[in-house]
Amino acid sequence: MEEGSILSHRNSDVPSLVSTACPVSEVLDRVAGKWSIGILMAAAHGPVRFSELERSLTGVSRRMLTLNLRKLERDGLLVRTVHPSVPPKVEYTVTEAGRALHDALLALTAWTERYRDTISTAQALYDRDNG
């Protein structure tokens, strides 16, 4: 068997790698969405109210915002606090894990800005050559 081939002994642990990656993939699928990223970016600056999020996320429906907030809260990335008042005041705050994800998103944004032209050029060359 050739070293480094798909059938080499080194790659015999693929099923265990896949099963380990599945929970990670599930979380990434949830937090990588357009609305989740926007919510995390907005909430990273301090507690934010539902109405503030609704105004800052152009095009999000109330239902979609609610669903995403619940997912992020369930995943431990946001904390929902209800203040007793009339009407009730609800705020969302980023958790330590949410802050770490926010930092990673900032790094990804910086990477995207740094390599945007490189990627565009590579895509144009690939499309030209593979038609």
pTM listed for this prediction: 0.72
Mean pLDDT per 10-residue section of the chain, whose length is 131 residues: 50 61 74 88 93 94 96 95 91 96 92 96 96 82
Question: DSSP letter string over 89-125?
Answer: EEEEEE-HHHHHHHHHHHHHHHHHHHHHHHHHHHHHH
Query: Given this structure, which CATH class describes domain 32-130?
Result: mainly alpha
Give residue limits of the domains in the chain.
32-130
